[in-house]
Amino acid sequence: MLKTLIEAFALISTWEVIIAMLAASVYGLVIGSLPGLSATMATALLVPVTFYLSPIAAIATIVAASSMAIFSGDIPGALLRIPGTPASAAYADEAYAMTRKGEAELALGAGVWFSAVGGIAGTLSLMILAPPLAEIALSFSTFEYFWLAFLGLMCATLVARSSPVKAIAGMFIGLLVSCIGIENPGGVPRFTFGITDLFGGIEPIPALVGVFAVAQVMRAMLTPEPPPIPRRKFGSIMAGQWLLTKKYHWQMTRGNIIGIIIGVLPGAGADMAAWVSYAMSKRFSKEPEKFGTGHVEGLVEAGASNNASIASGWVPSLLFGIPGDTIAAIAIGVLYMKGLNPARRCSPKKRRACMRST
């Protein structure tokens, strides 16, 4: 365990990886904090860039950008009441209420601090959980993989917030798109309509950019822009975070654990973790009447939860190839393109490397 850990650190401590992580973090921060541009879109737009990076740097880029984007979604949530990513939607109201009370610094700081704590807790869980689960994954045969793939597809319908029928219909449309091309048992051109460009099938990158990025631009065409924020001076956002940690350490731990559990479940991602944790925090709070009026407790728990779920969401992605959420789905695509196939074809060493980059 310790040896692989050191090996993994050696793998990521090259200039290329560090610079890529730094740049990806800044990029994720910017995209996540722009309302309407989700963490998923940030990741999807990164895919073409990862093409030109080494495998480790590519994974590091995706991981860094996605976790940064999830955290920075709190920023417009707190300041504008518009969650930057769906994962911040659960407590955007609460954070905005704090901003109105003049506690914007505290709300933002809680977002940063407890997101970071959550991310570390999730990563630790990934390191501890992944090896025993990998043993199970190694003994899988074709039948298990079929049902696992089936489970993954079904989970895709669970995450949709709309009606399950529409989600299943969406899944079928996706499957239909994947039928295009000559990669089928008979090797006959299928649904190509005589267009040679379609013979190779629809590649994942254009599909991802089309589904996530173009759709977002289409949505932007119809939504009016948010009003400008009044200017004021900001204090330090990290002030008072340590006091909060001591006061709400139990809430933080509970948020981390819930986030890890939800992240490990395939198909349930950061936004679900945030909602569940926020609800839980309210339910078990000593002062539930303060919720909704700008109370930091729910923010602590949900903030710790959504980032923990991002990290532990890599467990099903790396071991079984089932994405925990849309970001992981894109990341799996990147892994495949880099030859680091998730599931059993990913050698243990490389898998540890993927793990560490979180």
- The single-letter DSSP state of residue 129 is H
Select from 82, 114, 78, 111 the least CA-distant residue to 96. Answer: 78
Select from 68, 77, 82 the least CA-distant residue to 32. Answer: 68
Q: Is 196 in the site for another protein (CB under 8 A)?
A: no
| Binding track over 3-42 against another protein, x by CB under 8 A | ----------------------------------------
143, 222, 231, 286: residue in contact with another protein (rule CB under 8 A) = 222
Span 310-329, contacts to another protein by CB under 8 A = none
19, 26, 146, 166: residue in contact with another protein (rule CB under 8 A) = 166
Q: Measured from the CB of residue 171, what is the shortest distance to another protein in angstroms? A: 9
- The single-letter DSSP state of residue 197 is G
Q: Measured from the CB of residue 93, what is the shortest distance to another protein in angstroms? A: 8
6, 13, 185, 196: residue in contact with another protein (rule CB under 8 A) = 185
Alpha-helical runs (H) found in 73-141:
74-80, 92-100, 104-138
Select from 341, 336, 338, 314 the least CA-distant residue to 325. Answer: 314
Residue 134 or residue 208: which is nearer to another protein going by CB? Answer: 208
Tokens for 105, please give them: 């610094």
Bridge partners of residue 181, in order along the sequence: 190
Cβ proximity of 321 and 354 under 8 Å: no
Q: Measured from the CB of residue 215, what is the shortest distance to another protein in angstroms? A: 9
- Return the residue matching tokens 């990741």: 43
Q: Measured from the CB of residue 266, what is the shortest distance to another protein in angstroms? A: 20
Alpha-helical runs (H) found in 139-187:
142-159, 164-179
Q: Is 1 in the site for another protein (CB under 8 A)?
A: no
Q: Is 243 in the site for another protein (CB under 8 A)?
A: no
Residue 133 or residue 182: which is nearer to another protein going by CB? Answer: 182
- The single-letter DSSP state of residue 292 is T
Q: Is 80 in the site for another protein (CB under 8 A)?
A: yes
Q: Is 238 in the site for another protein (CB under 8 A)?
A: no
Span 102-161, contacts to another protein by CB under 8 A = 161
Q: What angle do CA 314, 73, 208 make, to 5 degrees?
A: 55
Q: Is 176 in the site for another protein (CB under 8 A)?
A: yes
Length in residues, the chain: 358
Angle, to 10 degrees, between the axis of helix 55-72 and the axis of helix 15-33?
30
Residue 1 or residue 143: which is nearer to another protein going by CB? Answer: 143
Residue 209 or residue 257: which is nearer to another protein going by CB? Answer: 209
Cβ proximity of 29 and 68 under 8 Å: yes
Q: Is 223 in the site for another protein (CB under 8 A)?
A: yes
Contact footprint for another protein (CB under 8 A): 48-49, 51-52, 80-82, 92, 161-166, 168-169, 172-173, 175-176, 179, 184-188, 190-191, 214, 217-227
